[in-house]
Amino acid sequence: MIFPFLGLFACANGADNVNVDEFAKAVADGARIVDVRTPEEFAEGCIPGAVNVDWNGPDFISAIDARFDDAEPLYVYCRSGRRSAAAAKALKKAGYKVVNLLGGYQAWTAAGQRIDQDFKYAESLLKAGESVPDFELGDIAGNSFRLSDFRGKSVVLVFWASWCPDCRAETPELKAMYAEADPEKVQFVSVSFDREFDALCNYVGENELPGVQLFDPAGKKDSKVGADFGVKWIPSLYLIDPEGKVAVSTVMAWKIAAALDGTLPASQRSAHFCSDESCAL
């Protein structure tokens, strides 16, 4: 697909610039996104679907040539827009169609756009296609469940704790996912690492959390279940297919929601994103 350059205007070096809204439309449409910051900056968080090619690294154009052809535009960004403007100028000279994000990643985050932090926090999670280990835990009502009890359905598996600010922040999105999912096809299962059982029960009740609410008394640090699933950060989330294999593993709830509604690109259906397309599903 050739992406239309809506709302573009040229800067002094001849590159095309767009604001956050236009850049976000391109991201949603599956545009080729290039983050020209350093790998360290990239690992802290990036625009979803971005490929990292450091502008200040060796042979920038050669690195781009190895990953892309020049048939479709490249949408580039950096932290504030200065490096990407320079990169855009060089890419344009090399024959690429290029669009630069005005204000860079800072403008993107300031506008409240979604970001991807899986490079930093989800690297240890099980990868797409791997079979998940089975486990057995009790729920807050005293019932015992095995993960394999839900085989035949897709399972949204969430590792969390009520004391975790990031977990609490994702409560509305998880509830929205549950409300929109077909209960005949999707089962929601949460594993809590709460230190106190009563705190878990109170939070679940006050927030009317849906699905099966399991409690791991070992806590996050000593949990065998968490270790088996590679959980080092919470929340960590999995979408498990009906055959018991990982479809998506992430620390970002929006990726699970996007996978459930079919809007998550196939190239993002794994915990460890590649710097090229070689490991895309």
Cis status of the peptide bond prior to 39, with omega within 30 of 0: no
Tell me which of 17-21, 27-31, 126-130 is least confident.
27-31
Within the chain, strands assigned E span 9-10, 16-18, 32-35, 51-52, 74-77, 98-101, 136-139, 144-146, 154-160, 186-192, 212-215, 236-240, 246-250
Bridge-based pairing of strands 32-35 and 212-215 is unpaired
User: How confident is the prediction for the chain on average, in pLDDT?
Assistant: 89
Q: How many whole angstroms separate alpha carbon 264 and alpha carbon 270?
A: 11
Asked if domains 9-116 and 120-268 share a fold, the reply is no
Res. 149: pLDDT tops 80: yes
The residue type of 266 is A
Res. 250: pLDDT tops 90: yes
Q: What is the mean pLDDT of residues 185-211?
A: 96
Q: How many whole angstroms separate alpha carbon 67 and alpha carbon 276?
A: 6
User: 267: which residues sit within 8 A by CB, 6+ positions away?
Assistant: 49, 273, 277, 280, 281
Give this prediction's pTM.
Answer: 0.76
pLDDT of res. 161:
97
Fold for the domain defined by 120-268: Glutaredoxin (3.40.30)
Predicted confidence band of residue 244 (pLDDT cuts 50, 70, 90):
very high
Predicted confidence band of residue 15 (pLDDT cuts 50, 70, 90):
low
Q: How many whole angstroms separate alpha carbon 62 and alpha carbon 269?
A: 28
Query: What is the per-residue pLDDT across 152-193, written as a single tens digit (0 to 9) for each?
Result: 999 999 999 999 999 999 999 999 999 999 999 999 999 999
- Spans of all domains in the chain: 9-116, 120-268
Class of domain 9-116: alpha beta
pLDDT of res. 136:
98
Within 102-172, strands assigned E span 136-139, 144-146, 154-160
Q: Find residue 246's DSSP bridge partners.
A: 240
Q: Find residue 158's DSSP bridge partners.
A: 190, 237
| Cβ-contact 248, 239 below 8 angstroms | yes
User: 74: which residues sit within 8 A by CB, 6+ positions away?
Assistant: 32, 33, 34, 64, 68, 91, 96, 97, 98, 99
Catalytic site positions: 78
Predicted confidence band of residue 67 (pLDDT cuts 50, 70, 90):
very high
